[in-house]
Amino acid sequence: MDGREQDTRLRVYWMPGCTSCLRTKEFLTKHGVPFVSVDVVADKRGFEELAELGLRRVPIVRRGKEWVDGQVLADVARIAGIQYGAPPRLAPEALAGRVDAVLAAAGRLLRQIPEGKLDTLLPNRPRSYRQLACHIFQIPELFLDLVEHGKRLEFADYFRDVPQGLATGAQLAEWGEAIRRRFRAWWEREGGSADLAAKADVYYGEQTLLDFLERTAWHAAQHTRQLQLVVETLGITTAHGLATETLAGLPLPTNVWDDAMQFA
């Protein structure tokens, strides 16, 4: 039998810059639960261990043969032995407003990054500033693909590259603005009357459309915090970055990049 299957210690498989990974680690640390940290970018054996479980994604929390997806904190609490009560959630219209405000801020921040810096890689993660900005806009795009076209969300969807034809930061920002307009149009057309208690067809378990909307809002917001950190690291003033009220009420991690790893 595999020694890890007999190991009663909690193992967390994660990668730098992953928003749900960071939230999972902070959740366990906050509740005083020790765990073995496995950065699958730095430790290739981590992905091999996940493959043994038939998995190719993070965050995953494992104890022996049992595992849960770290994106669902209720499941993380169960496997970790934590008494968990879900925190209050913003109303759907507030979540929709947060998505709109986050995308607006992401566009402003992206336009501040010099063209010559867009292909700089993030620390400890093979993702460029350009790809990070694109990912922010793809998050609500994937939500819209599900609610408008019934397209199931797969883990690989979050790793799409920058669409062809978006050569400059301004072009990427304009593309992101089009997604922002599409989201606003969906909300005004049907979002307010949609059955958000309906099941969301997503890869990480039983979720409602409201769960997915909340995750869309905080997921995009956390990556926009990272984009703002990029701009600040470049020595550029971010007077038009994320407003405090935009982040209020979202279930965000405390840290922006990682709980232990410096953004450098």
Both 34 and 112 in a single domain? no
Q: What percent of the chain has pLDDT over 70?
A: 98
d(CA 183, CA 95): 12
Q: What's the confidence (pLDDT) of residue 239?
A: 74
Q: CA of 14: how far to CAs of 107, 137, 223, in Å?
A: 28, 22, 16
The enclosing domain of 121 has a CATH number of 1.20.120.450
Q: Is residue 226 in some structural domain? A: yes
Both 140 and 112 in a single domain? yes
Q: What's the confidence (pLDDT) of residue 4?
A: 53
Per-residue pLDDT tens digits for 129-141: 999 999 999 999 9
- For residues 52 and 4, the model is more confident at 52
Q: What percent of the chain has pLDDT over 90?
A: 92
202: helix, strand or coil: strand
> How many domains are there within the chain?
2
Both 243 and 165 in a single domain? yes
Both 101 and 75 in a single domain? no
Q: Is residue 258 in some structural domain? A: no
Q: What's the confidence (pLDDT) of residue 2?
A: 54
pLDDT exceeds cutoff 90 at 86:
no
Q: What's the confidence (pLDDT) of residue 1?
A: 44
27: helix, strand or coil: helix
Domain end residue (candidates: 29, 47, 80): 80
Domain end residue (candidates: 53, 80, 107): 80
How do 11-14 and 36-39 pair as beta strands? parallel
Sign of CA dihedral 27, 31, 37, 38: negative
Both 120 and 36 in a single domain? no
Range of the domain at 235: 92-247
pLDDT-based confidence at residue 6 (cuts at 50, 70, 90)? low
If 0-12 CB within 10 Å is exposed, 13-18 middle and 19+ buried, where does residue 224 land?
Answer: buried
